[in-house]
Structure 1
Amino acid sequence: MQLDRRLHAFRPDLAETALKGQVEALRFVDGTKARITVPVMPLRPCPDATCGIDTELLFGESLEVLDRASGWAWVKADFDGYVGYLPETAVSEISSEPTHHVVVSRTFVYPAPELRSPHMCALSMGSRVEVVGEAETRGTRYLLLSGGGAMIADHLLPIGTMPDSDPVTIAARFVETPYLWGGRSGFGIDCSGLVQLSLMMTGRKVLRDTDMQEATLGRKIDRGDLRRGDLVFWKGHVGMMEDEATLLHANGHTMTVARENFDAAVERIGWLYHYPTAYRRL
């Protein structure tokens, strides 16, 4: 069996219990459930802050901690199974469950239900929080959080309630968001992160990287059949069709999430990175 270090947790000294009999390791462990406690946390392939990031985890997302050493935690994300390292100070054991998720591209947490107060932090779409109450100030409704703080009520929905059924509508909310390699948030996002987060916010579970998405999402179609919502894959890149002539994608050319004429994008990308490898319909 071909194992992928991005989705299978194994090292010579340690591996996840699910891989017993498939890999050799000194010991096998079940992970300890934990949750992200910072707004956005990079997940890295090695325990080194100078190492590039593979992806990001958002506030309130759950994971399994497989190992802790020298200030780092080796973890596996619950949502998409991604494996990597992050500072152990960014996670805590689960003591309660989130009730709501952020449904706008980004928003603020205030120390009290007062938008004029200095904000405590900002959270991205997809972040999860536990709401314990509500309040109103000058006609603005807030939801109160279990750990302290307040958020604009219209920026949250109960978990399981989606802001839209159309992933293209969700993706379009990120237009002009900065491009960030490995990014998966409203503060910076890459091509496959945009696809994953947009589909996640319509209730669909999607793997993280372009090769994983090309192998698992939808069915093949022809270029001439492209319409809104279809995905176009290159080697190492993916975009979503906003309509039959417009590509919506996070890209290193504009360094943003941008709309681009599809035919022009194919030609621009093609001279350096070749032409699309697949067209897929969800």
Structure 2
Amino acid sequence: MTDRRLTPANGRVAALHLAGQVAAEKYVAGTAMQIATPVTDLCAAPEGARDRQLLLGADVTVFEDRDGWSFLQATDNYVGYVRSADLGQVQPVSHFVATMGTHAYSAEDFKSPQAQALPFGTRVVVRDERRRFFETNVGFVPKSHLRSLDRPFADPTTVAQLHFGVPYLWGGNSTRGIDCSGLVAAALMACDIACPADSDLQRAGLGAPFDDAPRRGDLIFWEGHVGMMVDADTLLHANAHHMATVYEPLGKAILRISAQGDGPVLVQKRL
């Protein structure tokens, strides 16, 4: 059985490479586009439930634009629908927001009107460098808040810690709201490490199992949940119990998650 999250086919259209493998009225190569709004929901169906989110500057391949919704696939292979109005033409993004968030201003002045609020990980085109700001495709952004794409972070755990206190949001992928797998994906992708979007896919595709004491950066998986170790004893995870990204002693988290009926740890993975 195909996984609809990873299969670019909806019955009407399918990716060209799926011809002969899945049923569709037509098979198309798709059109390269980019997310053109700070955060947009990637939904299971038009007007449907949010599966996850995509951020400004993310590359996508669009297979169908119908009734204001675009059926597409993201670069991590995740498939779904976003509002067509949230898409734009491909631009040569060069930098990403490397702080918890920032503002793009309408002029080279922090007192000027805000053009957009940008969460961590959004990608922009730097067009000019000024004394304190970069001029970008979405406005003037403080230079200290952007990082060149060719200078990824080195430690995923440091990136995850930037998200401490971010409110929990099912399917969230930004510092406006994030869930457990979104936190792991944000941390790894900022370090230029490929990462699937959902915890079951991360459990299957990331790292190698280990049996010794946890280390910084290790991933702990439950059924439907994942967290990242900050040190040998402390787990950082976005969870609905605290409705936030929090630090929690691993032993306490294991007992609490089991007591609430979500089972034991399934596997520990080391990247």
Shorter-chain TM range is: over 0.9
Asked if the contact 1:238/1:249 (under 8 Å) is kept, the reply is: yes
Residue of structure 1 equivalent to 2:179 = 190
Q: Give the percent of matched residue pairs that are identical in Structure 1 and Structure 2.
A: 39
The structural deviation recorded for 1:268 is 0.3
TM-score (norm 2): 0.97
> What is the alpha-carbon distance in structure 2 between the residues aligned to residue 27 and residue 132 of structure 1?
40
* Shift of residue 97, structure 1, vs aligned partner: 0.8
- Alignment partners' CA distance in 1, 2:108 and 2:2: 48
- The answer on whether the counterparts of 1:14 and 1:28 sit within 8 Å (CA) in structure 2 is yes
Structure 1 unaligned spans of 5+: none
Distance across 2 between alignment mates of 1:260 and 1:124: 25
The equivalent of 1:3 in structure 2 is 2
Taking the TM superposition and a 5 Å limit, the aligned residue runs for 1:80-159 are 80-94=76-90, 96-136=91-131, 141-147=132-138, 149-159=139-149
2:178 matches 1:179:
no
Aligned residues: 270
- Tell me whether 1:264 sits opposite 2:270 in the alignment: no
Q: The residue matched to 2:230 in structure 1 has which SS?
A: strand
**Given residue 90 of structure 1, which amino acid in structure 2 is its aligned partner?**
D
**Structure 2 gap segments, 5+ residues each:** none
2:195 counterpart letter in structure 1: V
Q: CA deviation at 1:52?
A: 1.8
Corresponding residue for residue 76 of structure 1: 73
Pick the aligned partner of 2:202 from 171, 195, 213. Answer: 213
CA–CA distance in 2 between the matches of 1:199 and 1:72?
29
Structure 1 residue 232: deviation in Å?
Answer: 0.3
Normalising by structure 1, what TM-score? Answer: 0.93
Matched residue, 2:46: 47
Runs of 4+ in 1 over 4 A off after TM superposition: none
**Aligned-pair CA distance for 1:168:** 0.7
> Does the CA contact (< 8 Å) of 1:160 and 1:203 recur in 2?
no
> Would the aligned equivalents of 1:102 and 1:125 in 2 still touch at CA under 8 Å?
yes
1:253 to 2:241 alignment: yes
Shift of 1:10: 1.3
1:231-264 alpha-carbon deviations (Å, 9 max, x no partner): 0000000000111110000000110000001100
SS of alignment partner, residue 280 of structure 1: strand
Hey, what's the Cα distance between the residues in 2 that align with 1:113 and 1:258? 36
> Which residue does the alignment assign to 1:59?
56
Determine the C-alpha separation between the residues in 1 that align with 2:263 and 2:95: 42
The yes-or-no answer on 1:22 pairing with 2:21 is yes
CA distance in 1, matches of 2:258, 2:107: 51
Matched residue type, 2:234: T
What displacement does 1:84 show? 0.6
1:140-182 CA distance string (max 9 Å, x none): x1000135x10000111111211x3111111011100000000
1:44-98 Cα shifts (integer Å, max 9, x gaps): 00001xx2211101001110110011111111112x111111110100222x311
The 1-side partners of 2:25 and 2:115 are apart by: 44
Q: How far, CA to CA, are the matches of 1:146 and 1:248 in structure 2?
A: 34
CA distance in 2, matches of 1:232, 1:36: 31
Question: Equivalent residue of 2:127, what SS?
Answer: strand
Q: Give, in whole Å, the separation in 1 of the partners of 2:137 and 2:170.
A: 33
Secondary structure at 2:202's aligned position in 1?
helix
